[in-house]
Structures are given as structure tokens and as C-alpha cells.
Chain A
Amino acid sequence: MKKTTLRTQLFKRLIVLLLLMSLIAVSGIIVTAVLKRTSNKIVFEYLELNAVQELRLAFNKTFIPAYNYLIYHEPAELLHFRSRLDSTHRHLDYCKTILSKTHSKELLETFENHLAYFENMVLNTENTDFDIIKNRKLIPILDDLIDSSTQMIEQIIFETKQEIDECIALNTTAVTHSSVTIILLSCSVILIGFIIGSLFVRKIVQPLRNLVSFTREVADGNLDVIAGTSSRNELEDLAAAFNHMVDNLRLTTVSMDLFNNILTSMQELVVVVDVDGRIVLVNNAASRLLGYNDDELPGKPVDLLFEKSGAYSRDDVLKLTSLKCIENEYVTKTGQKIPILLSYADLRNKMAELTGFIMVAADITEIRAAERNLEFIRRKTMIDLNDVQEKERLRIAKDLHDGLGQMLTGISYYVENNFSEKAEPGSELSEHIDNIQNQIDAAIKESKIIAYDLIPMQLKDFGLSAAIAVMVDRLNARQKTKFVFSEFNIHSRLDEKLEKALYRIVQEATNNVVKHAQAELAQVQLIKHDNSISLIVVDDGKGFNAEGISHGYNNKGLGLTSIHERVASFNGLLNITSKPGAGTEILIEIYDE
């Protein structure tokens, strides 16, 4: 459809209206012309009437002088009569010129003749001798003449009056008709104008109204409207622009909906605060997990979420924004603590000014629990492995000590029984046999040593104290450091697993003393309480920096790691005190189950 503009369309309609109004004007002119004609006619007729009436008047004015002359035969009267007659003639001439109708003209002619006759009759008396009786006899004839002349004039007057009446009637009708015509015409034009106007206005208003209602719908959230575009003018452009805007809005809304959806659905807790630490926005996950309603948190200070109040400081947080994830804790409405991984980001506006901070936190309760669980499983596995290992060692030790040892002894007996006495003392054979016995002895000894290294038989047979005593004796026999073992309040054996674990710990600790401490004196102390047992290994040697070993695994050498593990597997207490040059003290306490 070819596009026009509202201006053009309006123009067209205005031109139509103008044409219609000019129609009125034209008909007005026509009406005026018609009315003018008729009223002119009336005027002419009135002029005629007037002229004829003047004629009559002038004619009438001749009677008295005529009669007087006839009677009195005064020259003054004759003069009078003549002048009046002249006047009448003048009027008559005037009438002649003025009268238009033929009939009137004929009548006038007749009157003229009568007048001439009258005139002659009267004027003739001038020339003749004055005869009053004759003149008196003339008077009825003159009267007749006058009557008939007057009749003529009257007739003319009458006809002219009639004419006038007709014209007036005509005029009146013309006026009525004209009025009606003009009124009708005007009304029609007004109506047409109104209709055209209304239609045009409607053509403009309707699309506009539609657009308004669409706009309202969009404001309410319905973005599926499409404005019609059939106006073929600027309104079409408006509609197109509107549709374009709605499309854009739809896209924006989709993004916004998506954004809102993301914020609502995500599992991480999002808290946005302004620079003063007031909460501006929280997402669904945050409200839910922290136990607040959606509207409770915005406006409150962010300290509400942490254990310590007054914890928020703008500059402190600015420093934190460079760190990736910080471990922290949120406090719920009910005071419960939730472990989180928290990261800060600064929020800046278009002018890069700081407007607040975004805090994203991941709930690591499950991770922590899983870690703890894993740790627990690991420990348990280690304990079980250790257990198995110990059983294995015990078995091997037993096999070595009892089995192999016994077998070797058996062989020794066999040799003793079957060869020793057969050989001559001092002979080569005797020497060889002694050699064999020595070798066997050595082998037995060796197997015992091996067995002892695996696990001392005393530990199983006599318990922890006995085994430690043996260990300490051996150490004292071989090492420079003096070892002293003391026990307090131990009247019975302990749990088998515990004894083994404590033995290994003592083994490890004394190993460390031997390897690293260069101590003069080292003590091993076992203290039994009602519900627990304490083990202390203390030396006066070199010591080491114990600062870094309280929790982690960055220990000095593997020895401490395994002690740590063993103590942890019993949920015991381990405390290591050491300073370079000030010796080392290992304190362990394990509680009864």
C-alpha cells in the first residue's frame, strides 16, 4: 500500500469540505441573485406605481383648475391648469418610460388619449368665448373623461399593485425556498463534514487507542501483542516502531527472566551489599538456607550473617576481593553455623565507582561431611590394615621364633645325638661338627632377632610394660643415650590393639631420639588413669621447631606422621613440645572406649 502522510489525508478531506462549503457559497450567491431579481422587480413595480400615482396626483391636481377655469374663466386658473397639465404630461412621459408591461402601456395610451381629449376640451374653452352654460355642460363630459382616465390610471395602479403582490409573493417563496435550500445545504455540508471529520478522526484515534491498550498490556507483562499496521501513514510507522520496541522488550524480558531464573535456581548463596555493608539483595538459595523470608534480609547489615558483629569493613573486604575462595561460616536465623567457601567481588557502576560487593558462597557442609567421612574411612582402613599387618607380623615372628627356631634346634639335637659323640674330641670331624652347631646357633639367634624386630614376643605374652622394658634394655646396651622407663599405676594389661599401637609409638619415638636427638637422657613414662592411659617420651636432645606440626602433615620425617595417625585412630590426644636446643616431649593420652 502506498504510503501517505496524515497531512496529505487531512488535506484531501479539507479540500472536500472546502468544496462543499463553496457549494454553499455558490448556492448563496445564486439565492441572492434570485432574490435580488425578484426584489428588483418589486422595486421597479413600486417605481411604476409611484410614477402612476404621481401621475394621478398630478392629474387630479388639474381638475380644480380646470373646473375653476371653466367656471370662472380666470387666466390665472388657466395658467394653473397648464402648469399642472405640464406636470401631468411630465409624469405621463415619465410613466411612459417607466411602465414595462404592455397592458399598462396600452392603458396609459388610452389615458393619454383621454387626457389629450380632456386637455383639448379645456384648452379649447380658452379660445372660445366664455360660455358658462356651455362650459357647465362640458363638466359632466369632463367628469366622464376624468372618470375614465382615472379609471385607466386606477387600472394601471391596480395592475401594478397586483404585479407587486405577485412579485412579493414570488419573493417570499423565493426567500423560503432559498432559506430551505441554504439550510439544507448547510446541514448536509455540516453532516458530511462531520462524517468525514469523524471518520478521519477515527482513522487516527482507533489505531492510537489500540496502541494505548497494547501499551497497557505490555506494561502488565503480556509481550505477545502485535500492533496492526494498515493506516498507510505515520501511524503505521508508529505501529511498526511499537512492534519493534515490544520485540526488544521481549528479548530483554527473556534475558531478565533468564537472569532471575538463574539467580533463583542456583544453589550458591548470593548476597549483594552496598559500600556500607547493608544487604541489598539476596537470592533464593541464600534466604532459604539461612532461614529468612525473602524480604527480611535486604536493608539489614551484613554482619547479621556472620558470627562476629562489626566484622564488615569496606577496606577489609576490598582486600578480600582478590582472593579466590575463603573458608568462612554463615550463621542462620536460628544461630546454626554453616561452613562455606566465600568469594567477594566488587560491584562498580558505569563510572567505575564502587557501589557495593557481591558475595557468592558455596555451602560446603556436605563436602566437609564427606571429607570427615573420607578421613574416618581412611583412618579405619589404616587401622584395619595396621591390624592385618600386626597379625601378619606376629604370625611371621611366631613362625620364625617358634617354627624356624624350633626346627633349627631340632637339627641341632639331631647332630648332637648322631654325630657329636661319634667324633673324637679335637679331631677334624669334631671341629666340623662344632662348626655346624655354631652355625645352627647363629641361625637360631638370627631368626630370633628377625622375629624380635617384627614384634617382640614379650608384647604378646607379657604385655606393654614388659616389651618396653626389653626395648629400653636393648637401647641402653647399644646407644649412647640413656633410656629410662617408668610406669605408674599399671596393674593389669591393656587392650591388645592398644598395647600394640602404644608399643609401635614408643618404638617410633625412641627411634627418632636415636636418629635425631643426640640426647643424653631419654625417658619413657606410662601413666594409667581410671579412664585413660598417658604415654610420655621426653628427651633432652637437640629438639626441633615444633611450631608447624600441630595439625598438618608437614612433619619432620615420617616418624611423627605415623605416631599422629596411630593416636588419631584411637581419637587420642597428641601434643608435641619442642624447641631447638631445648629437647622434645611427646605427650599422648588415649581414653578407654
Chain B
Amino acid sequence: MTNKVMYNILLVDDHDLILDGLRTMLAKANEFRVIGEANSGKEAVEKTSELRPDIVIMDISMPEMSGIEATEIIKRKYQEVKIIALTQHESTDYIMQMLKAGADGYLLKNCKRTELIEAIQTVLRNEKYLGKNVSSILAEGLYQSQNTEPVIPENKIILTPREIEIIKLISTDISNKEIAEKLNISLRTVETHRRNIMLKLNVKNVVALVRYAVKHGIADV
């Protein structure tokens, strides 16, 4: 980036130590100027509308409104403001949530100065930036869900052995009470199983249930 425009940065974190560190890191960069600091999501929104920065470095876990919520609000009001998440949280949920909220970048706090600068420059180019650890986390998550072979055929994944047992008994057209006595469990338990089965298989009545059972070879009529 060679143009000499000053970009304004708003730092948002509830720990002053972090803010100090960030400020010091950014002080060395000439094109960036820290114009404000906020300690909570609420303050972040306020300061954003007040100071209209170019970039917001947003922490996630803060009191009085989390970074995720603040990001949502800011992005709704001021699309042009770039928001980079800077957080301890390494797990997929946080990453996904932040990105869903509209964050342009996601950095882990243990990143170095160089990475921070790079992130800011990238998002200023209207690109998304994910910290190197972050990408690998996301990639791993993706890999896991892709690579999970259906170890078991679909219907068996859903139904537990006990539930299959109960479906068989339901198909023989005996009452819940008799099922309970047969399996030596309480009536309430039988009713719970029934409910769960019907919901899982998305059937509304016994007829459909039995039909499913027959279709999938669970019960013979």
C-alpha cells in the first residue's frame, strides 16, 4: 500500500493491557492511526457512529454486548466499516458466528504484529482475511464433516437398538402397557421412546411408523 492515506482504527477490547499492546503495535505503522478505544460491544457501536473509523479491531468476549452482536449492528449501519475479529477463541463456532455477523477478518490474539498489519491491509483491499491458525481450524472442521463416512446406514444412525426393539413390538399391535411389562420398563419410558421415534422418523401416527418399519426391514407384519 503506497498511498499515504491515513486509515483510522477503532480498538475494541475489555482488557486495557491488550489495548496497550495493540496500540503500541500499530503505532509503528504510519498509515494507521488509532482514533479510539472501546471496552464493550455497546461502546464499540457508540464510538463507531461517533468516530466513523475505517477499521474496527473487535474482541469477541466482552461485557455488555459481545463482539458478535456489535459486529452485526455496525455492519448493518455502516457497511463500509471493516471489522476484524481479534480473539482468544479458536473454535469453529466463534469463527463461524463472527463471519456470519459480517466480520471481514478473524485473527487469533497470539498473532504477531506482522500478521495484524497484513490483516488490516487485506481487509482494506476488500478481501477477507483469516489468521493462519484460523484457516487451518476451519479447514479441519470441514475435512472432518466431509470425511465422516456414513459408518452406519442412515436409518440405523438415527434409531437406537432399543428404539428398534420398541418399533418391532409396536408393530405387533400390543398396548404400551404390555410393551412396558414385556421389556420390564415403566410406561413413561415406553411413551418417551415412542415420541422420540416418531419425531426422528418424522411420522405422525402408528400406521406410518409401521410402514416405515416394514419398508426398512425392521419389522415383519
Contacts and interface: CB of A to CB of B under 8 A. Distances in A.
Interface of A: 398, 401-403, 405-407, 409-414, 416-418, 420, 440-441, 444, 448, 457-458, 461-462, 466, 469-470, 473, 476, 482, 484, 486, 488-489, 521, 523, 525, 527, 529, 532, 534, 536, 538, 573, 575, 577, 582-583, 585, 587, 589
Contacts of A523: 157, 160
A416 B93 contact: no
Interface in B131-173: 141, 144, 151-152, 157-158, 160-162
B185 A575 contact: yes
A589 B110 CA distance: 43
Nearest to B113: A416
B192 interface: yes
A414 B113 CA distance: 11
Given A457-B61, A575-B186, A409 B110 contact: yes
Contact of A538 (B17, B89, B162, B200): B162
Contact of B193 (A406, A457, A538, A587): A587
B158 A458 contact: no
B167 to A, nearest CB: 14
Contact of B162 (A402, A409, A577, A589): A577
5 contacts: A409-B17, A444-B110, A461-B61, A534-B195, A577-B185
A476 B94 CA distance: 20
Contacts of B182: none
A413 B22 contact: yes
B189 A527 contact: no
Q: Which 10 A-B pairs have the closest CB atoms?
A: A413-B21, A410-B17, A406-B15, A417-B24, A575-B189, A589-B192, A409-B109, A538-B160, A466-B93, A585-B162
Given A420-B112, A440-B110, 8 more contacts: A398-B61, A403-B15, A406-B18, A410-B18, A525-B160, A573-B188, A575-B192, A582-B161
Contacts of A403: 15
Contact of B160 (A405, A448, A536, A582): A536
B127 interface: no
A585 B161 contact: yes
Contacts of A532: 195
B4 to A, nearest CB: 23
Most buried by A among B20, B109, B110, B189: B110
B79 interface: no
B176 interface: no
A486 B196 CA distance: 13
Contact of B161 (A461, A469, A538): A538
B97 interface: yes
B91 A470 contact: yes
B76 to A, nearest CB: 21
A416 B162 contact: no
Most buried by B among A405, A417, A482: A417
Contacts of A416: 21, 25, 112-113
Most buried by B among A411, A416, A488: A416
Contact of B158 (A444, A486, A589): A486
Interface string B77-94: 000000000001111111
Contacts of B162: 538, 577, 585, 587
Chain A contact surface mostly: helix
B39 interface: no
Given A406-B15, A457-B61, A482-B151, A583 B22 contact: no
B174 interface: no
Interface of B: 13-15, 17-18, 20-22, 24-25, 61, 66, 88-94, 97, 109-110, 112-113, 141, 144, 151-152, 157-158, 160-162, 185-186, 188-189, 192-193, 195-196, 199-200
Nearest to A477: B144
A537 to B, nearest CB: 9
B38 to A, nearest CB: 15
B110 A417 contact: no
A469 B161 CA distance: 23
A440 B152 CA distance: 44
B199 A527 contact: yes
Most buried by B among A405, A406, A462: A406
A587 B166 CA distance: 13
B165 to A, nearest CB: 9
B18 A413 contact: yes
A521 B61 CA distance: 35
B15 A412 contact: no
Nearest to B17: A410
Contacts of B13: 406
Nearest to B150: A484
A441 B111 CA distance: 10
Nearest to A401: B88
Most buried by B among A409, A458, A488: A409
Contacts of B20: 410, 413-414
B91 A407 contact: no
Contact of B24 (A401, A407, A413, A575): A413
A329 B91 CA distance: 59
Contacts of B91: 458, 470
A462 B24 contact: no
Contacts of B199: 488-489, 527, 529
Contacts of B24: 413-414, 417-418
B144 A473 contact: yes
A489 B92 CA distance: 22
B88 A409 contact: yes
Nearest to B185: A575
B161 A583 contact: yes
Contacts of B144: 473, 476
Contacts of A470: 91-93
A417 B21 contact: yes
Contact of B88 (A420, A448, A525): A448
Given A410-B17, A470-B93, A486-B157, A587 B110 contact: no
Given A413-B21, A416-B113, A489-B199, A585 B61 contact: no
